[in-house]
């Protein structure tokens, strides 16, 4: 059962080969047996999940039509609110916070009949690339338990990879869906900024954050994305979007950025990653697609711009955790001490590092030199993509310069950890969609990143199905 896709579950339920309750029971037993070693989940929602499964079974027994995600067991990253469950963002700051409402994306999948199994582990407040920054546990990669699953959506990616859910929701601020998808050998989409409502997502960097699906195949990722996308009156940045038409693959043009994958750039990428990406490029050429080298000249600034913009926004967004409104509250002799004591105990080292960087960059005398300049360069990165998509239909790059690295290998070197996202952050800065597609390898998983023009997610799914 753990290999079932969304389509397979729908067919199985309608054909009465199993019930939604039996399916949910199967997943909870598998989680109980295997997750103590993997560490994907922070909390399970067994009672509410089985109640939802019962509702689906009743619909089927009455001969009524069932919605697109009926009975599908879904895991939700623990920075996305699910009513009645803890939403900790893997931080001591929110250790006992119980969400009073559903995030818009969770509400939508529930309306489509999905069964939420529980909340998955992540890097604290989604700040990290390995899921080692969680305040509660370190998640292991199901493909090699000595290695990280990537981050920050490592719990969601590992749960899908290990068959501890059918599909999952994650969030992506600089690669946090795509990089763990690559490391764990699953599909992961960062949608166009605004394609999915962020209402109910615990904010990290509001102009970069986006919620998206992780799944076993391109079709499942597409079905889950279609369920959560669209305009939401509770998020003014969200937008209604239409599906693109079918691609003529004989006219397909793929761009390969020399800054990401040119002869010089390849020197910084592991050999097995280069080999897998080149095989994917050849497959497209063999199918009649055209491949041409393009240039994204402002790419070299992307890492610096990202860590300036994201830390500045994090500094502002995390100011609300002051020990007064909700979450952890430490005692002090005066208000300032309450603030200092709460934030000192509640936040981990990486979160504190980013808050301090952002606060400094926004301080008097430094705003123009750092934040404002970064936003100007960000515009240049966006314009590079806009020019490229006038020439090509999609862009291919690696997701990560490496395969999954060993647990503990990069924890003492923050810069080395930040470089894990060097190929993914540009998509967030520009706001374009990007899909991680697992490629066939003899060793650890490697992900191909397919970048597309604004609101052309369906084109990315079509290209991905060619490579499956």
Residues acting as catalytic residues? 77, 152, 176
Which tokens hold the place of 351?
A: 């979160």
Q: Please say whether the beta carbons of 356 and 127 come within 8 A.
A: no
Which tokens hold the place of 342?
A: 């709460």
Task: Give the three-class secondary structure for 96.
Answer: coil
User: How far is it between the farthest Cα atoms of the chain?
Assistant: 72
Q: What is the torsion angle, in degrees rounded to the nearest 10, for the CA atoms of residue 103, residue 106, residue 111 and residue 117?
A: -140
Q: Please say whether the beta carbons of 374 and 309 come within 8 A.
A: yes
Within 185-301, residue ranges assigned H as helices are 218-228, 258-261, 271-286
How far is residue 198's CA from residue 71's CA, in Å, rounded to a whole number?
24
How far is residue 447's CA from residue 427's CA, in Å, rounded to a whole number?
15
Residue 369 burial class via C-beta count within 10 angstroms: exposed 0-12, middle 13-18, buried 19 and up: exposed
Closest CA to 131 of 120, 123, 119, 143: 123
Q: Please say whether the beta carbons of 305 and 429 come within 8 A.
A: yes
């Amino acid at each position: 059962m753990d290999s079932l896709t969304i389509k397979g579950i729908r067919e199985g339920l309608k054909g009465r080969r199993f019930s939604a309750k039996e399916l949910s029971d199967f997943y909870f037993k598998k989680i109980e047996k295997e997750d103590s070693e993997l560490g994907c989940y922070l909390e399970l929602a067994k009672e509410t999940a089985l109640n939802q499964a019962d509702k689906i079974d009743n619909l089927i027994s009455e001969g009524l039509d069932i919605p697109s995600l009926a009975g599908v067991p879904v895991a939700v990253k623990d920075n996305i609110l699910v009513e009645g469950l803890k939403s900790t963002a893997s931080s001591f700051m929110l250790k006992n916070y119980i969400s009073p409402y559903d995030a818009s994306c969770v509400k939508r999948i529930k309306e489509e009949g999905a069964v939420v199994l529980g909340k998955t582990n992540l890097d604290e407040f989604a700040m990290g690339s390995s899921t080692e920054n969680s305040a509660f546990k370190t998640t292991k990669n199901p493909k090699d338990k000595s290695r990280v699953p990537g981050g920050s959506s490592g719990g969601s990616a590992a749960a899908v990879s290990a068959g501890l859910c059918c599909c999952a929701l994650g969030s992506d601020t600089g690669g946090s869906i795509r990089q763990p998808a690559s490391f764990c050998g699953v599909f992961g989409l960062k949608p166009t900024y605004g394609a999915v409502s962020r209402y109910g997502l615990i904010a990290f960097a509001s102009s970069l954050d986006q919620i998206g699906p992780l799944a076993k195949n391109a079709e499942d990722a597409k079905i889950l994305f279609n369920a959560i996308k669209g305009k939401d009156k509770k998020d003014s940045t969200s937008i209604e979007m239409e599906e693109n038409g079918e691609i003529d693959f004989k006219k397909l043009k793929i761009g390969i950025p020399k800054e990401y994958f040119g002869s010089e750039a390849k020197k910084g990428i592991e050999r097995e990653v280069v080999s897998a990406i080149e095989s994917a490029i050849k497959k497209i050429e063999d199918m009649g697609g055209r491949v041409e080298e393009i240039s994204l000249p402002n790419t070299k600034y992307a890492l610096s711009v990202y860590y300036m913009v994201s830390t500045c926004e994090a500094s502002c967004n995390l100011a609300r955790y002051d020990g007064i409104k909700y979450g952890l509250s430490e005692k002090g002799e005066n208000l300032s001490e309450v603030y200092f004591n709460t934030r000192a105990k509640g936040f981990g080292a990486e979160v504190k590092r980013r808050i301090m960087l952002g606060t400094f960059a926004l301080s008097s005398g430094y705003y123009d030199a750092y934040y404002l300049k970064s936003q100007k360069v960000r515009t240049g990165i966006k314009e590079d993509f806009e020019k490229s998509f006038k020439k090509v239909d999609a862009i291919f790059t690696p997701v990560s310069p490496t395969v999954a690295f060993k647990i503990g290998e990069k924890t003492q070197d923050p810069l080395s950890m930040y470089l894990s996202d060097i190929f993914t952050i540009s998509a967030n800065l520009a706001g374009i969609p990007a899909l991680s597609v697992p490629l066939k390898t003899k060793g650890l998983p490697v992900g191909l990143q397919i970048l597309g023009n604004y609101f052309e997610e369906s084109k990315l799914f079509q290209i991905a199905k060619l490579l499956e």
